[in-house]
Homo-oligomer: A and B are copies of this chain.
Amino acid sequence: MIDDPAIRAGGESNGERERRPRRRSGGVTLREVARLAGVAMITASRAINTPDQVSAATLARVREAVETTGYVPNMLAGGLASTRSRLIAAVVPTIVGPVFLETIQSLTESLAAAGYQLMLGQSGYDGSREDALLDAIIGRRPDGIILTGIMHSEEGRRRLLASGIPVIETWDLTPNPIDMLIGFSHEKIGPAVVEHLLARGRRHLAALTADDERALRRKSGFVDAARAKGLTSSGLDGLPTGIVRAPTTLGSGRTGLIDLLARHPDIDAIFCSSDLLALGVLIEAQMQGIPVPRRLAVVGFGDLAFARDLNPALTTVRIDGTSIGRLAARLIVDRAEGRPVNDRVVDVGFSIIPRAST
């Protein structure tokens, strides 16, 4: 080889063996900033990350150097050195389908305010990509993982536990959380809705729900509570129910109502597993000339922005998604910064927003 180190070294100084160069990221590094400010790298680092550990004069000089060079710290390097990536991962079944949006929104904002960035992953409604996604996430060494309304495999649980990364499960209340939990009881929603409908004089209840796990549990709570009150449809053990494919659409609300009415013409109240379904029911009812709420009461779930503006305004179950996101951010950040977290399980509850549709 002509590329003999000795020959190459000759050019350098006298004996000085030539170090091979390496592709660099191209940007300004902390070394450069430190040199410009006339301090050691570590001091420059402190000036940037823990400003109150350096003197005012030094701080000013470092700040100026940062300014003139346009230095942006490489957080990959910082994360590697400190084992704190300042990345938080959030997993949702799917981002279309507006249920988790509020949560993601407030999560992103709260995290950004604390200097953290959100990584987003979609597991698919059937959790198909969940395990592969988990590896991709754990590989990035996030400081926390937020699971949004998700059923995880045993294998997934193990990997999460083994990774040692703080985990928050949300939008549900499981008996044995992996780590932390912020959610509410889907089972308890059903009875509350039954209560509400009974109070409004309804006796022939029905449910229209998506076939996803949590919606089905809400439905079960509803059906069981109705049965406990002695409300069973003629010839049925439980209640008239319609099941539609998740994610729910307005269209499936319309066909769902048609189907339910065909089988049970006497129903006078429907609990839908999403506001979108409820909107479909409202529209179909109106087309068929069925007055809401006079002949048919409709309850949704989610309290999406449009619910209050419908005609009639939609009675629905409200989950404070914004609180969930904000709280999740706080817990995760507290954990990441080593502050103690006392409430590892938080039930944010739900509320029924009574409006004109019931």
Binding site for B on A (CB under 8 A): 23-27, 70, 72-77, 79-80, 83, 85, 87, 94-96, 98, 101-102, 104-105, 108-109, 112, 115, 117-122, 129, 132-133, 135-141, 159, 162-164, 249-251, 254, 276, 279-280, 283-284, 286-287, 305-306, 308-311
Contact = CB atoms under 8 A, between A and B. Distances in A.
A117, A132, A164 — most chain B CB neighbours (10 Å): A117
Prevailing SS type, chain A contact patch: helix
A101 B96 contact: yes
Contact of A310 (B75, B118, B250): B250
Contacts of A24: 83
Query: How many chain copies does the complex carry?
Result: 2
Contacts of A133: 112
B95 A27 contact: no
Given A80-B76, A159-B70, A95 B85 contact: no
Nearest to A134: B72
A83 B76 CA distance: 9
B311 A249 contact: no
Nearest to A322: B96
A309 B249 contact: yes
A102, A104, A139, A251 — most chain B CB neighbours (10 Å): A139
A280 to B, nearest CB: 7
B136 A251 contact: no
Given A251-B309, A305-B249, A95 B87 contact: no
25 contacts: A23-B83, A25-B141, A27-B163, A72-B139, A74-B80, A75-B139, A75-B140, A76-B76, A76-B85, A95-B108, A96-B105, A96-B305, A108-B122, A112-B122, A112-B132, A117-B137, A117-B140, A249-B305, A249-B309, A250-B306, A279-B306, A283-B309, A283-B310, A283-B311, A286-B286
Nearest to A74: B141
A79 B132 CA distance: 19
A180 B25 CA distance: 21
Given A102-B96, A164-B27, A250-B305, A75 B141 contact: yes
Contact of A95 (B101, B140, B141, B254): B101
